[in-house]
Amino acid sequence: LERFSPIQFVRTLSSSERRMRSAEQFLERDREIENLWHYVHPELYHPDLVGAVDAVITKPGYGILSETMALGTPLLLDTRDDFREFDVVKEVLDKYPQVQFLPSDRMERWDFEKELNEILSVERKVWEGPANGAEFILERIQ
């Protein structure tokens, strides 16, 4: 990660990791890697973090995909072969210039500098569909 400096990286801890800590601050700097931070606060509200960062580097999951698309946050995704709906997800996300996919082996080697620079430099396209899933579901079950 240090070769990417001055870019700063934030790792979100899992909910079980966060519950085990009593953090008074939201971010802690990694003890070994200067430009890596850990989001440690137990009451993480993911959309706030996704809206505050310049880009997200992750594996595909419905939560992070919906948050980044609704906010137009650049996204670098692992191809994630075990995700059954990956082909459908890729078909939709290919329409967004701020989204790129990388094979797992490149993600594991942190070999994404070119793609990261690309997603940070293109004009962002924001999801044009509804972004009110909770309200939509509530209307359907009432």
Query: Could you tell me the domains of the chain?
Result: 2-141 (3.40.50)
Q: Which residue has the tokens 């519950």?
A: 19
Q: Give, for 37, the enclosing helix (H) or strand (E).
A: strand 36-39
Q: How confident is the model at residue 22 (pLDDT cuts 50, 70, 90)?
A: low
Instruction: State the Cα–Cα distance between residues 121 and 38, nearest whole angstrom.
Output: 25
pLDDT exceeds cutoff 60 at 136:
yes
pLDDT digits (tens, 9 = 90+) for 37-94: 777 666 777 788 888 888 998 888 888 888 898 889 999 998 877 778 888 888 888 9
